[in-house]
Structure 1
């Protein structure tokens, strides 16, 4: 082989080697760009999450700012229960509810008249605890604001009536209508004597927001699976598939006889 041919082959090999190095360098740059882009996306997501968390924290802070002001007559641990009925009743029904919760409305529609009958006769005492689970699941503030308004109604001695009005007029779960104070004040007009300057100020100022948040925290830490949670003398009866208003009435009457 002539020197000229050997030189040509060597030059070709060098060109191929150089080309391979070029491809390796390009591939390395490509992988670096892909990894870098992935990190940017993750960091971007983290930033978005951080902004959301920060904003949520601000909203939460505004909701729970200030001292905890329990509504008039609230009792139980940390004064988180709104009592209805005579203290001397032998049976206690503990109800955790959210005014935006459709299942809570279904429970109220089915049991309302029976509960009113039993509390009116002095056989049953009900302790209402207010939760904000739908705000957490669906977003918005209607659960919190309606709970505050119900606490304001308790201050006015009109809790039961307003509680019932809220459920009868409950919007669709995805409709955060109770976040509008104007809607809550409009519904107060359906309860005789509730729509007063004091009630309006309580609703508009969010007087019991901190109390509502404390109640919501108690619900979250209580091991409950959802709303409504209904306990009869400490036993969860909402999970009982055979439970009916008639059966509840029978249980209360039996307990009343001792």
Structure 2
């Protein structure tokens, strides 16, 4: 082989190698661009997910929306906002104020001991009953049961004062009142199960719809605000015409305390 041919072959080999390197460089560049582009898309996608999560987290919750909903007042209430719940004969001169939270275990104990006597006294015209509903246990123990039960009580009150009293008694009953840390009242199905034990509410389509639709949710929240402004710090609390009565543990103690308050 001549020196000329040898040099030509070497030159051709170098050119071929150069071309291959350029091709490989282009492939590497394209791959890097794809990787960078993919990373940018992934970052943007992640940013979108995070942004969506932040927006959702800042959306008002169910009860925050309920607080701004139109106020629907139950029947059998008084006052411009429907927060005055007074049950009893108009001629009764005294008024027993009762402050309760539906999830409160002490309220359940009081109702189981003296609730029936309260109803008898009210029916007899011994005094009127004014009810104040609280929801502070939802904040203490976490949950929604106090608010949801108070809304359902509004639905019962819309049926009749007697339905309200009977439903309240059922909610506090030994068989159906849950432990304070168990938020059973947050479930509409459970509230309706309790209502099935009350003749006026069992199979009552209007009551059922009001519970499931949350018709009186705003009313329940406003009632809770009124309780918070009352100065009462615990439940159950009893007052006779504004004067506090020590909470009795039995029906007999209740009657003695009430008679003393009425005499005073």
> Bigger shift: 135-144 or 73-82?
73-82
Q: CA 1:239–1:246 in structure 2 vs 1: closer, same or farther (change >3 Å)?
A: closer
Question: 2:193 matched to which residue of 1?
Answer: 186
CA deviations 1:161-193 (Å, max 9, x no partner) are 111000002100000001110011111110113
Matching residue of 1:17: none
Which residue of structure 2 aligns with residue 63 of structure 1? Answer: 66
Contact 1:123 1:252 in 2 (8 A): no
Please point out which of 176, 179, 185 is paired with 1:172. Answer: 179
User: What TM-score results when the alignment is normalised by the length of structure 2?
Assistant: 0.70
Question: Any conservation in 1 of the 2:245–2:261 contact (CA below 8 Å)?
Answer: no
> Could you tell me the TM-score, scaled by structure 1's length?
0.72
1:198 paired residue among 206, 220, 223 = 206
Deviates further, 189-198 or 166-175:
189-198
Cα 1:193–1:117, aligned 2, differ >3 Å: closer, same or farther? closer
- Superposition CA RMSD, Å: 2.5
The equivalent residue for 2:168 is 163
Q: 1:150 aligns with which of 122, 131, 153?
A: 153
Structure 2 stretches lacking a partner, 5+ long: 1-53
- What is the deviation of 1:249? 3.9
Report how far residue 238 of structure 1 moved.
3.2
- Tell me how far apart the structure 2 counterparts of residues 252 and 91 of structure 1 sit (CA, whole Å): 10
Q: Do the aligned residues in 1 keep the contact of 2:236 with 2:247 (CA within 8 Å)?
A: no
| Residue of structure 1 equivalent to 2:220 | 212
Structure 1: gaps spanning 5 or more residues: 1-49
Deviation of 1:60 after TM superposition, in Å, equals 3.2
Deviation readout 1:124-174 (Å, 9 max, x if unpaired)? 100111110111111111101111111101111111111100000210000
Q: 1:238 to 1:209 in 2, by over 3 A?
A: farther
- Number of aligned residue pairs: 204
SS at match of 1:94: strand
